[in-house]
Amino acid sequence: MTTLLFDQFLSTDAMAEAFDGPRLIQAMLDFEAALAKAEADEGLIPPSAAEVIARACDVSLYDPNELARASRSAGSLAIPLVKALTARTAELDAEAARHVHKGGTSQDVIDTGNALLTKQALNLIDASLTSLIDRLLGIAEQHADTPILARTLMQPATVTTLGFKMLGWIAPLQRSRAALTELADLALALQLGGAVGTLSALGDKGPAVSRRMAQELGLALPDGCWHTQRDTWMRLGAEVGILTGTLGKIATDLSLMAQGEIGELAEPSGAGRGGSSAMPHKRNPVSSMVALAAFYRAPGRVATMLSTMAQEHERGLGNWQAELAEWPHLFMGAHGALQALNDAFQGLIVDPARMRANIDSLLGLVFAEAAGAVLAKAIGRAAAHHELESLSREAAASGTHLLTLTLARVQASDALRGQVDEAALRLAFEPSEAARHATHVTRERLQRLRAA
């Protein structure tokens, strides 16, 4: 038994437990119990045998570590487990032991077990996602009209509102939530194909046994086994990767806005949170850090899983096993990121004064486009754009506010003097005016997002 502390560090206890060895073993035993029960209900094995098998399907009767070790030479975790289950069942009732695992194959046990664990994992994801969306909506509603610099290509652009900015965080989360739900309905499916996918060992009872098992286990009933057809499973995995991408986008924005020199947002601080072993003043954005770590790790994992899709014939060699091992890490990362961002936004510190100060410090440069629109009425878009480019350069070089320079230029230019609405020009440099349109859009879209 090994614990990799950095994996643990970047995930949550709840998700780590969801994929913990004993949980997996129990889920595999749940498959075996459900198989026996369904077969008994269909008259394939004696009901009493199913009952005895069910009693032996309790993880506390087995040693996960020993099973893991034995799985290496066996080539599959299911083989030593079925052997141990058969032995345990035989101790209770030798006759019942003859009916253990009838018609199933290793991959049936493992894939179904994994689907059961993933179902729990998705419940954890959904709860954290719902709560994160809720938190973000609350802050966005409160700051629908708070002016803030928009930034493009890592440079100040023009003014937007914090609420509008957050729309761009919330909407993708809602889409991921919907997508996960839809994809889970298909992907969390029973695996039951028998040795080579035809389920021939159950004869014409195969479909009925499958139907019963799917219902018993709370899983979807797929149209045929999916031993080496992993596309539905991949869609779910890719969506977790996409969700992690969105979380990475949020964490990136947050960490950029939390830079000491910008200071518009800050993660909550508190005893033991985000300190430094060397620098007493540090308030490190540790939630962003955890979310970003998940963001860095997800693409390679999704790539690995896609690279395992060419599973040979009726059961893959090495690729299926690689997929199994990568799978939980994807969920562990995503949940670590979700939990971290929930922590960050729960106590988020928002500094509207600093947002305003950051706008002000840019000498009106971010209003150049708006000012250009006012001038364009007199001299056309291209000429106005050109004019403002030159005035912006001058403002930056001289440290003079762009409004001052523009007003002077209007007076000095034959083409502009008298042609430009000076009040409109001054208004173009007002943050709240610049944010007026964004505020309106934000309120409208937030209502729709709340309703969703």
Task: Give the residue, chosen from 46, 61, 63, 90, that forms a contact with a copy of itself under the rule CB under 8 A.
Answer: 90
Nearer to a copy of itself, 106 or 118 (CB): 106
Non-local CB neighbours of 201 within 8 Å, separated by 6+ positions:
102, 103, 194, 195
Q: How far apart are CA 228 and CA 241, in angstroms?
A: 21
Does position 147 interact with a copy of itself (CB under 8 A)? The reply is no
Classify burial at 144, counting beta carbons within 10 Å of its beta carbon; exposed 0-12, middle 13-18, buried 19 or more: buried
In single-letter form, the type of residue at position 402 comes to L
Catalytic residues: 276, 315
Nearest distance, CB of residue 130 and a copy of itself, angstroms: 17
Task: Give the residue, chosen from 279, 412, 423, 451, that forms a contact with a copy of itself under the rule CB under 8 A.
Answer: 279
Are 295 and 337 in contact by the 8 Å Cβ rule? The answer is yes
Does position 401 interact with a copy of itself (CB under 8 A)? The reply is no
Q: How far apart are CA 152 and CA 252, in angstroms?
A: 13
Nearest distance, CB of residue 26 and a copy of itself, angstroms: 12
Does position 201 interact with a copy of itself (CB under 8 A)? The reply is yes
**Contact pattern from residue 295 through residue 334 relative to a copy of itself, giving x for each residue in contact according to CB under 8 A and a dash for the rest:** xxxxxxxxxxxxxxxxxxxxxxxxx-xx-xxxxxx-----
Q: Which residue has the tokens 């729960």?
A: 346
Does position 446 interact with a copy of itself (CB under 8 A)? The reply is no
Are 254 and 285 in contact by the 8 Å Cβ rule? The answer is yes
Torsion of CA 404, 354, 162, 177, to 10 degrees: 150
Nearer to a copy of itself, 129 or 340 (CB): 340
Does position 152 interact with a copy of itself (CB under 8 A)? The reply is yes
Does position 115 interact with a copy of itself (CB under 8 A)? The reply is no
Task: Give the residue, chosen from 26, 146, 288, 342, that forms a contact with a copy of itself under the rule CB under 8 A.
Answer: 288
Q: How far apart are CA 367 and CA 354, in angstroms?
A: 18
Task: Give the residue, chosen from 197, 219, 265, 409, that forms a contact with a copy of itself under the rule CB under 8 A.
Answer: 197
- Among residues 71, 93, 89, 90, the alpha carbon closest in space to that of 33 is found at 89
Nearest distance, CB of residue 170 and a copy of itself, angstroms: 10
- Among residues 349, 350, 385, the alpha carbon closest in space to that of 369 is found at 385
Q: By rule CB under 8 A, what count of residues binds a copy of itself? A: 198
Does position 2 interact with a copy of itself (CB under 8 A)? The reply is yes
Does position 166 interact with a copy of itself (CB under 8 A)? The reply is no
Are 139 and 349 in contact by the 8 Å Cβ rule? The answer is no
Task: Give the residue, chosen from 53, 129, 140, 293, that forms a contact with a copy of itself under the rule CB under 8 A.
Answer: 293
In single-letter form, the type of residue at position 440 comes to H
Nearer to a copy of itself, 127 or 179 (CB): 179
State which H helix or E strand residue 299 sits in.
helix 286-307
Q: What is the DSSP letter of 273?
A: B
Segment near a copy of itself (CB under 8 A); pick from 127-135, 158-166, 209-217, 417-425: 158-166
Q: Which residue has the tokens 């004993």?
A: 22
Does position 128 interact with a copy of itself (CB under 8 A)? The reply is no
Does position 125 interact with a copy of itself (CB under 8 A)? The reply is no
Classify burial at 276, counting beta carbons within 10 Å of its beta carbon; exposed 0-12, middle 13-18, buried 19 or more: exposed
Are 128 and 345 in contact by the 8 Å Cβ rule? The answer is no
Write the CA distances from 100 to 31, 34, 73, 87, integer angstroms: 11, 11, 22, 10
Does position 163 interact with a copy of itself (CB under 8 A)? The reply is no
Segment near a copy of itself (CB under 8 A); pick from 52-60, 133-141, 292-300, 409-417: 292-300
Does position 69 interact with a copy of itself (CB under 8 A)? The reply is yes
Please list every residue from 345 through 374 that binds a copy of itself, using CB under 8 A.
358, 361-362, 365-366, 368-369, 372-373
CA torsion sign for 92, 95, 97, 101 is negative
Beta bridge partners of 155: 152
Task: Give the residue, chosen from 290, 355, 410, 428, that forms a contact with a copy of itself under the rule CB under 8 A.
Answer: 290
Task: Give the residue, chosen from 112, 176, 210, 342, that forms a contact with a copy of itself under the rule CB under 8 A.
Answer: 176
Does position 59 interact with a copy of itself (CB under 8 A)? The reply is no
Please list every residue from 238 through 257 that binds a copy of itself, using CB under 8 A.
238-239, 241-242, 244-246, 248-249, 251-253, 255-256
Q: Would you tell me how many other CB atoms lie within 10 Å of the CB of residue 326?
A: 17
Does position 8 interact with a copy of itself (CB under 8 A)? The reply is yes
Please list every residue from 202 through 241 that binds a copy of itself, using CB under 8 A.
203-204, 206, 223-224, 227-232, 234-235, 238-239, 241
Segment near a copy of itself (CB under 8 A); pick from 126-134, 213-221, 274-282, 412-420: 274-282
Q: What is the DSSP letter of 310?
A: -
Nearest distance, CB of residue 290 and a copy of itself, angstroms: 7
